[in-house]
Structures are given as C-alpha cells and as structure tokens.
C-alpha cells in the first residue's frame, strides 16, 4: 500500500513538472510572438516612414535645397567684382534676342560726295560714300513694310537698301523724316520681297519707355560697324539726359551697353523684348577731349516720346523744323553800350514767321515763353520743341527815343 502511495506521489510530481514545463514553453512562445509582433509593427512603421519621406517630404526638401543653392549662385554672380575671387554679372538673353532678331534690319546706303564735274576729264567720275545703320520693323501695310531708323542714317542718301535676318537685301525709300528728333521711317515694297523672307521677318513689339527706371536691364541690337547684327547688354544709367546733336537738344535714355557706328537706328529692348528706345549716339574720346577715356555712355531716343511722331512719318508727314527767320547776335548782360541783354535782330528773312509779326530790325528778344535769354540755345531749344501752329510768347526791348522800352508780343508759327 505504501508503495502505491509513493508511486502516486511520484506520478503526481512528474505531472506537475510536465505542466510547469508546458506553462514555461507557452509563456516563452507568447513572449516570442509578442516580440515578433513588435518587430513586424516596427518594420511596417519604418516602411511607412520611408514611403512618406521619399514620396512626400523628399521632393519638398530637395526643392528647398535647390532653391537655396540657386539663391547662392545668383548672389555670387550679381556681386560687384572687387577682387579676383568675386563673382561677376552674368545674364542670358538668348531667348529674348532669338524672338526679336527677325524684327531688326541692317541698313546700307550710298551718298554722293562728288559729281566729278570739276577737274580733268579723266577725273570726271561720281564718287560715293558708303554708310551703315540699323532699323526696326514697325508696321506692315497692304503695299509696304515700314521700318524705323535714325534720320542721320538716311539723310541725303542717294541709294538705300535694307537687309533682313536671312541676309537678303532689298531697295528702300524714305517715307518721312524728323531732323530735330533724329528719326525717320523708310519702306520696302512688299512686291519686292520674296515669300520666304516674309515668313522669316516679323513686326517689333513696342514698349513703354515711361515705365523705365534707372538700373533696369536693357539689350541693344544693331548693325555695329556694318559687320552685321550684334547684341550688347547693360542697364539704364540715367533718364531724361539732355543731349545736343547738330544744335538739336533732346531728352534721351543713357545706357552703358556698347553702342558703335552702325548701331544707329537699332533697337533698345527691355527684358521682355519690347522696343523702349532707338539707339542714336554715344560719347567718345579723342585727342582734343579732356577726358582720356570715355566708356559706356550711349544714348537712345525714348520710344514713348516719339510714338505720335512715328505715326505722322508713316503717313508721309515730314516733321519740318520750325524757324523764326531772324539773324543776329547775342548781347551779354555786361556790355559797353548799356544795351539790354538778349538776342539782337540784325536781319529778318522775307516771308518768315518773324516777317509776319511785330518784330523789327534792332529789336532785342530778352525772353522767350517767359524764360530769359542768356544763350543762343535758349531760343533754339524752344523752337526744337515747337510744332507748326504753336504760338511763341516773346518779350522784346525796342528803342523809343533815347531809351529802350519793353513789351510782349506773340508769334504764330507756320
């Protein structure tokens, strides 16, 4: 009996040990399952995070980094070059130039300088001077292609030709000119231009020069030195610069882009490729000039200042200069005869505006439109800005007995 009890105790103990082992194994498996589950969840979280980073955040981060890099490059290249290590201004205007170039033409001319009528018979041969300039295609009518240029490019020419972007040349004629504003409109007959050329050229887009600011970027295109179209870039250096050429004073755009012979009549463009000026002149140094070197001082006629005039010229209305028809000399304030200062009239041209007015020989014009006359340019500048039909207000001194008296008169310009 005792043996059976002992045996039962051993069986019970063995059973308990087996149950304990089973519980331990279950607990171990449960822990492994939990660990596996945690690992699986962690892997899924990592995959999800990686997906978000590469498909959502990465493009934004990459774009941000690229923008920062671009800003750094732009800052580098727009710095003023003060040392060899500093950046310099770099710009790409190729797209603008490509779009505008079909609107720009080269102009060639011949001017008769000697008819050969003097000297021995074997010297009797006409001699011509060749000239080069530029132009801008501004309009197309049913019969003609209209081109804007400078008056000094076409003045007194005997022959005139226009070369388009495809290097084909055609004869041209002058339609209208303005010497005082130094612009002219010439035309090429559409009957002379072949269809292939017409497909390659286009009308220029006009801009608003009144919106220009000092420092704006500009592009100049023209037939520099007659070698063909070339491009220079720069900025607006100044606005409303008074420039006097051939006794005519006009307000112009000053620019630092290179302007050379042959550029005259070419286009000054803004960054959008719109024409905002006509390249016309430059300052240059010479042996008699006190400045050893003059660089980057070119001038262009503001397109908005001449828009109405261009229309008149296209319609064949020449902008003839307005004159008073008087001759004389300037009297300074300090003179030996105690005369009033101003312009002394010594001659009045028959049939002139002065001849049709109250002006007389011996009168001294002391004021014009209320401004005192201290130089001959004071009169000429007013006339340059006047049109036919305008009225001038003059203050004159006239002799009355032994003294000069003053009165105001008006002259209608015709």
Catalytic site includes residue 152? yes
Cα separation of 94 and 80, whole Å?
23
Cα separation of 214 and 206, whole Å?
19
> What are the CA-CA distances from residue 131 to residues 108, 134, 167 (Å)?
6, 11, 17
Q: How many CB atoms lie within 10 A of CB 12?
A: 10
Tokens of 329: 């000399």
Q: Which of 109, 264, 386, 397 is catalytic?
A: 264
Taking the CA atoms of residue 138, residue 139, residue 144 and residue 147 in that order, the dihedral angle to the nearest 10 degrees is -10
Cβ-contact 90, 117 below 8 angstroms: no
**DSSP string over 277-336:** EEEEEE----TT-S-S---S-EEEEEGGGSHHHHHHHHTT--BPPP---EEEEEE-SS-T
Q: How many CB atoms lie within 10 A of CB 138?
A: 21
Catalytic site includes residue 182? yes
**How many degrees, rounded to 5, is the angle at CA 168 between CA 165 and CA 173?**
100
Q: Which of 134, 178, 182, 305 is catalytic?
A: 182
Cα separation of 184 and 187, whole Å?
10
**DSSP string over 145-196:** EEEEE-HHHHTT-SEEEEE-TTS-EEE-EEEEEETTTTEEEEEEETTTS-HH
Q: Which of 103, 109, 134, 152 is catalytic?
A: 152
394 closest CA partner among 354, 367, 356: 367
Cβ-contact 162, 105 below 8 angstroms: yes
Cβ-contact 239, 275 below 8 angstroms: no
**Active site residues per annotation:** 152, 182, 264
């Amino acid at each position: 009996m005792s043996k059976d009890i002992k045996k039962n105790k051993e069986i019970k103990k063995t059973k308990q040990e087996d149950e304990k082992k089973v519980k331990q194994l279950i607990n171990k498996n449960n822990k492994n399952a939990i660990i596996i589950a945690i690992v699986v969840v962690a892997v899924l979280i990592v995959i999800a995070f990686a997906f978000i980073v590469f498909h959502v955040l990465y493009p934004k981060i990459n774009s941000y980094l690229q923008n920062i890099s671009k800003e750094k490059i732009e800052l580098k290249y727009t710095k003023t070059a003060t040392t060899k290590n500093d950046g310099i201004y770099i710009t790409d205007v190729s797209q603008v130039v490509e779009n505008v170039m079909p609107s720009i033409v080269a102009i060639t001319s011949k001017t008769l300088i000697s008819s050969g009528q003097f000297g021995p018979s074997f010297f009797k041969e006409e001699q011509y001077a060749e000239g080069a300039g530029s132009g801008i295609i501004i309009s197309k009518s049913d019969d003609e292609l209209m081109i804007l240029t400078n008056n000094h490019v076409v003045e007194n020419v005997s022959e005139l030709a226009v070369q388009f972007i495809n290097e084909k040349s055609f004869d041209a004629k002058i339609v209208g000119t303005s010497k005082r504003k130094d612009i002219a409109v010439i035309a090429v007959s559409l009957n002379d231009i072949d269809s292939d050329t017409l497909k390659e050229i286009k009308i220029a887009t006009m801009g608003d020069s009144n919106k220009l600011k000092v420092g704006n970027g500009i592009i100049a295109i023209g037939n520099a030195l007659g070698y063909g179209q070339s491009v220079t870039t720069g900025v607006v250096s100044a606005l409303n610069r008074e420039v006097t050429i051939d006794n005519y004073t006009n307000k112009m755009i000053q620019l630092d882009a290179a302007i050379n012979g042959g550029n005259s009549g070419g286009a000054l463009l803004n960054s959008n490729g719109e024409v905002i000026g006509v390249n016309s002149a430059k300052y240059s140094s010479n042996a008699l000039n006190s400045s050893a070197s003059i660089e980057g001082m070119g001038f262009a006629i503001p397109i908005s200042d001449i828009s109405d005039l261009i229309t008149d010229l296209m319609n064949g209305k020449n902008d003839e200069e307005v004159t008073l028809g008087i001759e004389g000399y300037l009297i300074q304030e300090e003179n030996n005869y105690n005369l009033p200062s101003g312009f002394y009239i010594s001659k009045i041209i028959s049939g002139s505006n002065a001849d049709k007015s109250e002006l007389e020989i011996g009168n001294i014009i002391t004021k014009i439109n209320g401004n005192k006359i201290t130089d001959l340019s004071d009169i000429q500048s007013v006339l340059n800005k006047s049109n036919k039909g305008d009225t001038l207000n003059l203050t004159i001194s006239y002799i009355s007995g032994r003294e000069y008296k003053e009165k105001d008169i008006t002259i209608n310009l015709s």
